[in-house]
Structure 1
């Protein structure tokens, strides 16, 4: 900061600046009513985020969850800290044509959790009160709002490509700046090696189970050979079990028509973890 060039105050004063009234608007304590207005401004038919809860759930059950959700959003806005389970986004490819055969035939959309959306909408509602007075209409303040909030860091992002041609994979990586993942799941491990990773003692039960499966792979499989294989659940089961254990509830729990969150909940119920 010491080497940073200073801006002449005369230049700043020549353009619209925040008034004391503007500052008071921005510094007002956040309220649960603001959070409620933000959530209720999201149409109920919008696609849910990774947690599976759409905005219609919060609309219908606000009397039950409103105070807790509002407090969570306000705490994030005041501290800047948010659970990583909330700060996640599912990128979905929507086909533009009936029979897509290349990457350009898809339109990517980001499905964010509603709580994540609510935080951004509360911030935008505050800025919307003052931007018309300090930014000209032809500068597009509505577009400006989303240019700097919660920007993804490409160096921390990975993408897993299944069943795609190498030319398409190369194009996706080039356009996104992400790193290609060789596993169908990912977690940011800094510079650690996944196969040498050990879970912290305070992590969740399901994450410990996932790491335990990894350890079982290490004990039974040639890692270089396994990493070179095209991912398949059957290959994993064959490596882990000589005679895979069959359960009667598998097809019901992992039904493709179910919401992913509901599959996980049912799976935990069947394992008596709830």
Structure 2
């Protein structure tokens, strides 16, 4: 694709390269970006200027959504698309997406980190822009890789949960031949995800950004992942701490129940402590165990 380019220019790129080198310098053969739209995203609008990256590695001001590609030296033929959380106000790249990407490449998986548009940054298509980006990104990955699964954290878990349960429904006008690819994955791992926006779980930033403080019940239901689960939904892997102060611990239970109702395979791990935003695990808590279970789940998917 002529939209592909090596990541070498911006401050965001430099930090990502330094992070990746420190985490897995002997395991990653290349890092590149793939722009999702090759021009103005659907609907137009959006922020101006460069991406903004905080000292803690949170990314915002996304004018050009893209995929950041991490490739292992010895690929196993499987890919994972990763989305960080941040309440749809930012993306926690340094604490979630980039560590996950290097963890995956250590094990032979090609990781595609999604940099998606944030709805409150002036996009004319409003609350649907992140979903548009995620669907488009999954189609791009599927055009390049034979087997693709999803890994999302917090609001990124909500986003990829929406994608996994969206089926092939279109959230934007087709752009080119890539959009003939089905936006479907072979499995989805959702880590401390926001699942439901319905009462009484309306306190999150995800709810505020996507449906607003005075949302109609039908809008809350439409943006609640559990309501979209069907028999075609791929296998799910769910992780949450029972003392999570951001994503109510009922979220994973609600999603697991929806999967079981539709006879969708689901594997869930809930830990007594760990809070929210623990990434690959918070030291001193049982959340450190989940990556091992996730690795086993990925391998058991067989074709994933």
User: Which protein has the bigger helix share?
Assistant: 1
TM normalised by structure 2 equals: 0.26
Higher Rg of the two aligned structures: 1
